[in-house]
């Protein structure tokens, strides 16, 4: 197994540990989850670049890399639904999940036609921004709940109710845009007249 695939596999293996520390109420558990999530996000930035630069692209990597990204993002958003300090609710999770199912379906149809659907610029931007938004949310949770910084209540309320939700909703908008671009580009594969 080459290095990019090992990094992708590491990202998958880090996801259960991220979830464990999000729920396990030990001291600084949000900080530990933040470190794990950040490490997993870094592997996402590294594996594809190393694979392309060194001509190490494999079918295993093409399969597991996007799957690992999806699971990592959806795991964090699912946990956020249960955390009162993250005022985003389930709607972003549902929209992002729907887009991921749609793109996976398009990739499957394309593969059956011998077409490889590469990640486009909007898809990469969506993934990068979503990971940044999730990391920012985890930093905020750690600051408020692990370290109990005494932020003024108005400031804390503004971050809880406005800043974090805006970051997540920007991710949702980028997700919808990238999904529409994929759908437009591969619509011929699902044209109902065929």
Listed by start position, the domains of the chain span: 3-189
Q: How far apart are CA 166 and CA 168, in angstroms?
A: 5
Which pLDDT does position 65 carry in this prediction? 85
**Mean pLDDT value across residues 7-31:** 95
Q: How far apart are CA 98 and CA 137, in angstroms?
A: 22
Look at the domain 3-189 and name its fold: 1.20.120
Q: How far apart are CA 10 and CA 84, in angstroms?
A: 30
Residue with tokens 């750690």: 142
Lowest mean pLDDT among 5-9, 149-153, 171-175: 149-153
Would the pLDDT of 114 be above 70?
A: yes
Picking from 48, 61, 88, the residue whose alpha carbon sits closest to that of residue 170 is 88
Model confidence pLDDT, tens digit, residues 44-72: 888 878 888 888 888 778 778 888 988 99
Contacts of 77 (CB under 8 A, 6+ apart): 88, 92, 93, 96, 134, 168
């Amino acid at each position: 197994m080459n290095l990019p695939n090992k990094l992708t596999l590491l990202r998958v293996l880090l996801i259960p540990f991220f979830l464990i520390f999000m729920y396990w109420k030990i001291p600084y558990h949000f900080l530990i989850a933040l470190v794990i999530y950040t490490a997993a996000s870094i592997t996402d930035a590294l594996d594809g670049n190393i694979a392309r630069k060194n001509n190490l692209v494999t079918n295993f990597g093409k399969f597991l890399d996007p799957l690992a990204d999806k699971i990592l993002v959806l795991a964090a958003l699912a946990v956020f639904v249960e955390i009162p300090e993250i005022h985003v609710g389930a709607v972003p999770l549902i929209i992002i999940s729907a887009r991921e199912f749609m793109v996976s379906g398009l990739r499957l149809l394309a593969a059956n036609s011998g077409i490889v659907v590469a990640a486009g610029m909007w898809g990469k931007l969506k993934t990068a921004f979503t990971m940044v938004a999730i990391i920012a949310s985890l930093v905020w949770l750690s600051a408020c709940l692990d370290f109990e910084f005494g932020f003024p209540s108005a400031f804390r309320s503004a971050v809880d109710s406005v800043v974090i939700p805006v970051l997540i909703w920007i991710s949702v908008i980028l997700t919808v845009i990238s999904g529409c671009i994929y759908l437009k580009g591969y619509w011929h594969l699902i044209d109902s007249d065929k």
